């Protein structure tokens, strides 16, 4: 892997007076977990009275030893660690969910801790950040157990609110451990999910950029995009080597995922790494959770959805080149029933639809305030944002080379054509985040035939085809 350079992981070098990085210590490499006690001694502001090891019940092995047990043993034998207790987060139908009940129960069990060490993958890390945000006092270290997502290193958690995936401000972890041996022993599909999650660097920044150009997001930062995107070629080269548990590839992926998380924290939004591709994935997860079944890994879904997002961009650009320019803002009277209809099959009570409507309503009001009922799109804005895109075929080929799912039907469990169509058609209705799908809707090029055209280009035969 000498030809695959890795990004530096001194994350404090990205901090500025106006944009602090709350993640104070990062250790990525061989035997990093063995240095956990030293990290805690370095970052803890007070002597440890009670240390809590927070994890789920899924075993994660490192050289034959269960990871949470290893962490507990290391801390129990360390000077100044205090009493060490294990807390296992509750598992519901379809796995662990970062919902209010789970977070509240974990926070109650961890009350009084001066240090919390979260051992797990993405959802468990989100729960750990939410717990430490709620308790305020504990120092928090995340021991990452897979290359699954970029959310280990930021100050936000994806939580379920009324069944809706919501990115919620929580708290930076104080420290992050990414032990390459532990990561190498994670299930390969879980590590490949990180490839999918990182592919969002080739679609989400374009969504963020067009939102900024159209006055729908004032936080766009070119340097935040660049700090991750410059490592894109190396990530694409390294991804196929994950199947061989190549230590260099694992380390590079861990560092890039960390940088992506830090970038989201610096921006104060997940928009640098989360656009239309993530909303599609969120809807797939919401549907699975409501139906009491397991969904595919989040990052794996993001990778397949990134191909769809790139195809939506291509569709919009083709229509604009053909002369479509007028952007019309739909009325609340038109869109509220549309949001209700989109989510009523998942939640007949209407709570999910109302939560989605609250976010979409804010987006609609902001658009009308800036553009009125109708406005003309400047095609130069579209070209400007599109420079941050990668071609759909390139993204699909990258997923195939790595062995990650490149299509919805290849996910585990697979997503059928009808569900894929529902998620893509309605992804813009779930939250207050402007993406290319919102632009397609405003331009009048997101009718059922348009959705079917994108799905057909992706090789998905929807009900309308």
| Radius of gyration for the chain, computed over Cα atoms and rounded to the nearest angstrom | 22
Which backbone phi and psi does 256 adopt, to 5 degrees?
Answer: -70, -40
Mean per-residue pLDDT, 352-379? 98
Side-chain half-sphere of 231: how many Cα atoms within 13 Å? 27
Residue 79 has pLDDT above 70, yes or no: no
- Token pair listed for 445: 């090029």
DSSP 8-state symbol, 139: E
CB 257 within 8 A of CB 192: no
Using the structure block, give the residue that is written with the tokens 């080929």.
Answer: 397
- Token pair listed for 363: 């987006």
pLDDT band at 162 (very low <50, low <70, confident <90, very high): confident
In the chain, the domains with their CATH numbers are: 11-185 (3.40.50.1970), 205-457 (1.20.1090.10)
82: left (phi over 0), alpha (psi -120 to 50) or beta: left
Q: How far is the first Cα of the chain from the last one, in angstroms, to the nearest whole number?
A: 45
CB 272 within 8 A of CB 204: yes
Give kind and range of the element (H or E) at residue 266.
helix 247-267
Mean per-residue pLDDT, 429-440? 97
Considering only 49-58, 61-70, 175-184, 360-369, which range has the smallest mean pLDDT?
49-58
Question: Which pLDDT score, from 0 to 100, does residue 245 have?
Answer: 96
Residue 2 has pLDDT above 50, yes or no: no
Mean per-residue pLDDT, 174-179? 97
Give dist(CA 355, CA 280) in Å, integer: 17
* Tens digits of residue pLDDT in 260-291: 999 999 999 999 999 999 999 999 999 998 88
Nearest CA to 433 out of 150, 154, 126, 212 is that of 212
Which pTM does this prediction carry? 0.93
Give dist(CA 363, CA 351) in Å, integer: 19
Mean per-residue pLDDT, 118-146? 95
| Average confidence score pLDDT of the chain | 93
DSSP 8-state symbol, 239: G
CB 370 within 8 A of CB 214: yes
pLDDT band at 91 (very low <50, low <70, confident <90, very high): confident
pLDDT band at 461 (very low <50, low <70, confident <90, very high): low
* Tens digits of residue pLDDT in 3-61: 444 444 789 999 988 899 999 999 999 999 999 999 999 998 766 678 999 999 999 99
| Residue 44 CA from chain centroid, whole number | 28
Mean per-residue pLDDT, 64-74? 96
């Amino acid at each position: 892997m000498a030809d695959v350079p890795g990004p530096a992981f001194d994350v404090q070098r990205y901090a500025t007076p106006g944009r602090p990085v709350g993640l104070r210590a990062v250790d990525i490499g061989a035997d990093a977990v063995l240095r956990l006690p030293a990290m805690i001694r370095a970052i803890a502001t007070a002597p440890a009275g009670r240390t809590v090891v927070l994890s789920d019940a899924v075993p994660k092995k490192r050289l034959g030893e269960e990871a949470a047990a290893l962490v507990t043993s290391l801390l129990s034998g360390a000077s100044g660690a205090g009493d060490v207790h294990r807390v296992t987060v509750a598992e519901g139908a379809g796995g662990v969910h970062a919902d209010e009940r789970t977070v509240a129960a974990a926070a109650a069990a961890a009350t009084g801790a001066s240090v919390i060490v979260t051992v797990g993958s993405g959802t468990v890390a989100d729960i750990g950040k939410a717990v430490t945000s709620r308790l305020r006092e504990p120092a928090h270290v995340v021991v990452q157990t897979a290359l699954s997502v970029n959310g280990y290193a930021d100050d936000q958690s994806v939580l379920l609110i009324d069944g809706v995936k919501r990115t919620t401000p929580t708290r930076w972890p104080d420290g992050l451990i990414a032990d390459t041996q532990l990561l190498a022993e994670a299930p390969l599909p879980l590590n490949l999910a990180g490839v999918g999650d990182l592919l969002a660097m080739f679609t989400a920044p374009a969504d963020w950029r067009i939102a900024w150009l159209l006055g729908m997001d004032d936080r766009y930062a070119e340097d935040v995009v660049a700090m991750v995107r410059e490592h894109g070629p190396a990530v694409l080269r390294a991804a196929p080597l994950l199947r061989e548990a190549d230590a260099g590839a694992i380390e590079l992926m861990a560092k890039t995922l960390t940088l992506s998380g830090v970038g989201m924290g610096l921006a104060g939004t997940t928009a640098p790494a989360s656009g239309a591709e993530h909303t599609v994935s969120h809807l797939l997860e919401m549907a699975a959770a409501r139906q009491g079944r397991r969904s595919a890994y989040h990052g794996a879904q993001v990778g397949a959805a990134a191909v769809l997002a790139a195809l939506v961009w291509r569709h919009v650009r083709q229509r604009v080149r053909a002369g479509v320019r007028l952007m019309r803002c739909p009325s609340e009277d038109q869109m509220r029933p549309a949001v209700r209809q989109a989510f009523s099959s998942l939640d007949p009570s209407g709570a999910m639809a109302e939560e989605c409507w609250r976010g979409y309503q804010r987006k609609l009001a902001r658009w009308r305030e800036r553009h009125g009922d109708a406005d003309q799109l400047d095609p130069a804005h579209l070209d400007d944002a599109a420079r941050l895109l990668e071609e759909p075929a390139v993204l699909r080929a990258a997923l195939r080379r790595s062995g990650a799912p490149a299509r919805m039907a290849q996910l585990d469990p697979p997503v059928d054509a009808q569900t894929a169509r529902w998620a893509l058609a309605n992804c813009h209705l779930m939250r207050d985040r402007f993406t290319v799908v919102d632009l397609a809707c405003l331009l009048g090029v997101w009718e059922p035939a348009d959705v079917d055209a994108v799905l057909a280009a992706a090789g998905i035969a929807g009900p309308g085809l």
